[in-house]
Structure formats: C-alpha cells, structure tokens
C-alpha cells in the first residue's frame, strides 16, 4: 500500500515528549499526531510549551500530521464560548507545529435530548468552529465516536454534506465497530470526505485489539483507498491497547482487553508490528 504516510498517537507509548520522539524514530514513523505530552493535553499547553515541542521535533527530524484535539468533546449545554476560545488556541498551536489537519468531534447531547432535537445547534456550533479556523488555514476533520452527535455513519454524512467539503472526515473504522456499525458500509458512505485515517481495530463484543486482529476491516478499507485515484494520506496508529495518560478522559471509561501487555511500551510495539504486517 503506497498511498499512506505513517503517523501515530505517540502519547500511547509515553507521556514524555522526548520519549515519544525517540520511539517514532525507532519505529520508522516520520510523523506523529499530537494529543498529550509531558502531562498536558494540547488544549492545556501554552505557546511556550508548543515552541519547546517544535524544537524537539526538529531535533528528531519529525513532523506533525495532525492535532488530535478534544474540540467538540463537550455537551451542547456546556460552556461553548469558553470551548470556542480553547479551539482558537489550538488553531494557533497547529500553526506553530506546522499541522494542517485538526481532529474534532460533534458534541455530546444534553440529558433527555435526541439527535433531532440537537441537530441545528450542532450545525451552528460546527459552523462557528469552521469560521474560527479559516484565518489559520487549518482543516477540521470530524471523527466518529460513541455518544457524540456524529456517532453513526449517516449522522457523519449529514454533517459532512451540510458543510459541502469544508468539514472533512477522519475515518476510524475501529470506533464504528465498537458502536455496532459495519465499517465497510460506513466507508462507502463517507469515502468522498475522508481526509485521513485513524487505525485501531476492535471486536463487536467491545474489545480493542491490534490492527488486523479484529473486525474493523482495516486491510480491506485501506486497500480500497489505495486502489482509488485519491491523494496520498496519513494513517495515524491509535492502538488503545494499554492504559495511557489521558485515556479515561478520552473514552470516559477503562476497558478489559483480551490482548494483555505488561506496559504501554510493549503494547505500542506490538501495535506497530501488527500494523506493518497488515500493510
């Protein structure tokens, strides 16, 4: 498969940013997707924190493929104005890091509200984020995930169609399986909007497993993309095989995995091995 550039959520290897950079060099990944480093989420970092990261990336000859931001991971009845301000700070960080793509979500629903109840507010809020992003020249890429408005493929397509290509898709086939959707049918719906991929594999029973060991049809979906006339793109390894800094904040719970590892470095190493075998 020749169209894919390797990236990873290196915070799943270590919270220490220098160790993240060393690991990317060791595994032959020229890019990483920034999410957590040295005890902070990208949304909590200062300009000085980010400039220090820029120096370290240069030292290790690495680039940033995307920002794995938490933008949109807030209830619609939460502090949206404060959230928009945080989003602007993340856009500034992305410019400093040389990252064009920013992963976003489509908000959690308030209690006792349906998706239909919230549709207009979700569209308005995503529209505000897209407007705020324009001066920074970044591309917002919506990720499908449990419990947000755009959890299922039809809701994702609805949002992507609404913004006529201004909002892109980061396609996570593992998340679709965890939420009970067929990943190949989801890809057929969303492929025209896919900007890049997150690589995690999973079982419909609820477990996250190494790439190629589950039911997310990663090889088939990447093969279809590779055989198409689409541009080269990033695949970001997001194993979720071992508890790491920030995981519970990301997924809202811990999980019991049939693949057991003594530490996160071993888990990440096996994830890399399985991905490269799959490719």
Cα–Cα nearest to 87, from 102, 71, 74: 71
Q: What pLDDT, in 10s, does the model give residues 10-47?
A: 999 999 999 999 999 999 999 999 999 999 999 999 99
The pLDDT of residue 205 is 87
- CA 181, 271, 198, 247 torsion-angle sign: positive
Q: Is the pTM of this model over 0.85?
A: yes
**Range(s) of the domain holding residue 166:** 4-278
β-bridge pairing 63-67 and 194-199 = unpaired
Q: How far is CA 257 from CA 114, 202, 215, in A?
A: 31, 10, 15
Mean local confidence (pLDDT), 204-222: 94
Q: Which CATH number is 151's domain given?
A: 3.20.20.150
Structural domains counted in the chain: 1
What mean pLDDT is reported for the chain? 94
Q: What pLDDT, in 10s, does the model give residues 166-209?
A: 999 999 999 999 999 999 999 999 999 999 999 999 999 888 89
């Amino acid at each position: 498969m020749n169209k894919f550039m390797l990236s990873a959520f290196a915070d799943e290897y270590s919270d220490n940013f220098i160790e993240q950079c060393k690991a990317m060099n060791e595994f032959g990944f020229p890019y990483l997707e920034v999410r957590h480093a040295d005890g902070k989420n990208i949304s909590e970092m200062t300009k000085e924190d980010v400039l220090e990261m820029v120096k370290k990336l240069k030292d290790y000859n690495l680039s940033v493929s995307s920002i794995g931001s938490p933008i949109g991971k807030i209830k619609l009845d939460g502090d949206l104005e404060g959230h928009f301000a945080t989003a602007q700070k993340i856009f500034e960080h992305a410019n400093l890091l040389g990252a064009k793509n920013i992963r976003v979500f489509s908000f959690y629903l308030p209690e006792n509200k349906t998706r239909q109840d919230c549709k207009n507010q979700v569209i308005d809020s995503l529209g505000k984020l897209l407007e705020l992003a324009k001066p920074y020249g970044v591309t917002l890429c919506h990720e499908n995930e449990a419990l947000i408005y755009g959890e299922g493929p039809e809701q994702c397509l609805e949002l992507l169609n609404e913004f006529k290509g201004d909002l892109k898709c980061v396609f996570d086939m593992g998340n679709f399986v965890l939420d009970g959707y067929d990943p190949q049918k989801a890809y057929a719906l969303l492929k025209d909007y896919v900007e890049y991929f997150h690589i995690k594999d999973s079982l419909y029973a609820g477990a996250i497993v190494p790439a190629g060991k589950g039911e997310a049809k990663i090889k088939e979906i990447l093969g279809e993309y590779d055989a198409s006339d689409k541009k080269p793109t990033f695949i970001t390894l997001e194993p979720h095989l071992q508890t790491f800094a920030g995981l519970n904040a990301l997924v809202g719970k811990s999980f019991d995995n049939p693949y057991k590892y003594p530490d996160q470095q071993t888990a990440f190493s096996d994830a890399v091995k399985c991905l490269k075998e799959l490719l």
